[in-house]
Amino acid sequence: MIHINLPLFLRKFNATTNKSTKRLVIFLFLSLVVVFTYLTLYNDVDFVNTTKTHLDHHTAPNKEKFNNIILKIKEEYDSHITFPYSKSFKEKDTRKELFANSLGSYKDRCPVVGQDTNDVKNWKSLSKNFLSNECLVVNSDIKVKLQHVHTKLIKTLLDETDSTFVYPGKEFYSGDGIVFVGGSSYSLMTYSVIKTIRKSGTTLPIEVLIPSEEEASTDAEFCKLIESYNSKCVYLSRIFSEDLLATTKFQGFQYKSLALFASSFENVLLLDADDYPLKNLDTIFEHTLFEKNGLILWPDFWRRTTNPFFYQSADSTVDMTKKIRNGLDIVSNLASSNKNQKPEDTPFHDFAGTIPDPSSETGQMMISKKLHWKTLLLSLYYNIYGPTIYYHLLSQYSSGQGDKETFIAAAHLLKLPYYQIFSSASVDGYFTDEGDFRGLTYYQKDFRQDFKAKQKLSEDIGELNNIKDLTYVKQNYFSGDLSEDYAMFAHCNLPKFHPLNMAVNDEFIRDGLHYRGYTHKKCLAGLDLEKEINLAYEELLCQPGKSVFDYMFNVDNKLTMCNYIKERLALFEKEPLFN
């Protein structure tokens, strides 16, 4: 150890050093003191990931906070209802036996009903009677039990009587950012989305939820890699206890709800790992529509099939004497356009008090935790009991079942503001040799431009009062064709861009020749999305040396995959999408 005689050192320093040098040394010394003090006091600040600094909230007190939320829901709001019975079809969350505590019995899946002119003839299957009696018939013995639990939770949230459910504030959440659910293959696909996001110039920080401890181990190198893209991994087991996760058995859709609690951002754009932004997103949280509503949702193609008992179970009134919409049409003269429509044939979700049409698609969703903390809590309850109860009540196994309706349903019942995009998604795809159209991706639209179209609709109300066409407003204001110029996201789920699966399945290959899948230039607006995705995979997986995802692929698979990517890139070079 080195010993310094400090008094002797200072005397010699004072006698032999000029004034300017003394000032410099004193300045440096004081600077070191300030830096040391700052690092000591604020050593939990995350310096790695940020354009916009946010706090690392993964601490023991926070784990207790989040554990208590789930424990409270599990212990006090469990109605002990199990999966519905179904003889006509089989799914993971249906059973072949009917029990006293079964949610109910499926006669069949609810039919998939669209919004276009040729779908109007099928709108009778959206009536209250049909949705109550022809899809899932709810077990009358469990109705009172479920209604008691559901209304109890809603009242607790509205009255703010339980400290467990209080919004944690800036201690937990701050700033804006983008959130994904990753883990294994989803981390791989998320990487290609992150690359596309940064290609567009977006600088918002990104967090990727890693659901399991096993994936935390296998994805460790991936998590290091994405740090250079202002991104980081968030580990579920560091926010919720492993025992709680094991007993609750979260999986699939439910992770998206947990990701919103786990992320450190106050304002979140939640994206699926197959959902690619097409433009710069840096200012999306600054728009008045988001600031006012705090929840922005995007539409699916199909009309809503929520079971009417869902509203009854929440003591939420639906006024069957007051029709307020024709699907998307909320402004024209409803009496005039529906004088020949019998009330019993009217779509249930055209009446006051219901969640609006169409159904939701949550491949992308924007939410303010501060404004919609109660929405997150109620939707967490819906997702915890989704497979046994709420996924069924909200969709009745029409097209798409899962978390997608839980967020809008929670906000609606809590009477909190939200905005669902009116503009329809546009579809990209191709015709098969048999003449069938195969949809590959759907382009969701920019909510800011959609709001302008809605304002235009309100201005034209006088001209619409005598329109009797039930689909006129959709076709003339919000159709996919009319809104192509302001596509915002490409949700690429048919197929998902998993490079090995694409290669093994010979996707976009006919008679041995590669062809483009995505050709919708107007929606892509100068971005050759297929090329960018394949470039990201080629850089990540097919360069000499070790890849962070080598654990996923054996030698033969990697060769097949990289040859496929190489051939795809050769096609894009030979046939550029944009000049």
For helices 406-413 and 373-384, give the axis angle rounded to 10 degrees: 130
Side chain identity, residue 193: V
Instruction: Take residue 428 and report the two structure tokens written for it.
Output: 């990209």
* Cβ contact 489:202 at 8 Å: no
- Quote the pLDDT of residue 252: 86
Average pLDDT over residues 370-386: 98
With the CA atoms of 444, 450, 454 and 457 taken in that order, what torsion angle do they form, in degrees rounded to the nearest 10? -80
Residues in the chain, total: 579
* Burial category of 8 from C-beta neighbours within 10 Å (exposed 0-12, middle 13-18, buried 19 and up): exposed
How far CA 542 is from CA of 191, 473, 526, in Å, comes to: 14, 49, 26
Q: Specify which of 2-11, 113-122, 415-424 reaches the highest per-range mean pLDDT.
A: 415-424
From CA 471, how far away is CA 404, in angstroms rounded?
A: 24
Residue 68 binned pLDDT confidence (cut-offs 50, 70, 90) = very high
What is the value of pTM for the model shown? 0.88
Helix (H) or strand (E) holding 138, with range, is: strand 136-138
Residue 32 pLDDT > 60: no
Q: Which residues pair with residue 364 across a beta bridge? A: 271
Rounded to an integer, what distance in angstroms lies between the CA atom of residue 229 and that of residue 49? Answer: 8
Helices (H), 103-177: 128-133, 140-159
What is the arithmetic mean of pLDDT over 558-563? Answer: 98
Q: Is pLDDT larger for residue 56 or for residue 360?
A: 360
How far the first Cα of the chain sits from its last, in Å, is: 69
* Helix H or strand E segment including 351: strand 351-352
Q: Does the N-terminal peptide bond of residue 358 adopt cis geometry, omega within 30 degrees of 0?
A: yes
Q: How confident is the model at residue 38 (pLDDT cuts 50, 70, 90)?
A: very low
- Please tell me whether residue 82 adopts helix, strand or coil conformation: strand
Q: Please determine, for residue 2, whether its predicted confidence score (pLDDT) is greater than 60.
A: no
**Which single residue is written with the structure tokens 């990753």?**
182
- pLDDT score for 16: 54
Q: Examine the pLDDT at 41 and tell me if it is beyond 70.
A: no
Task: For residue 441, give the 3-state DSSP assignment.
Answer: strand
Residue located via tokens 């979260």: 250
Going from the C-alpha of 223 to that of each of 182, 209, 232, the distances in angstroms are 10, 10, 6
Instruction: State whether residue 208 is helix, strand or coil.
Output: strand
∠ CA 19-25-27, nearest 5°, is 100
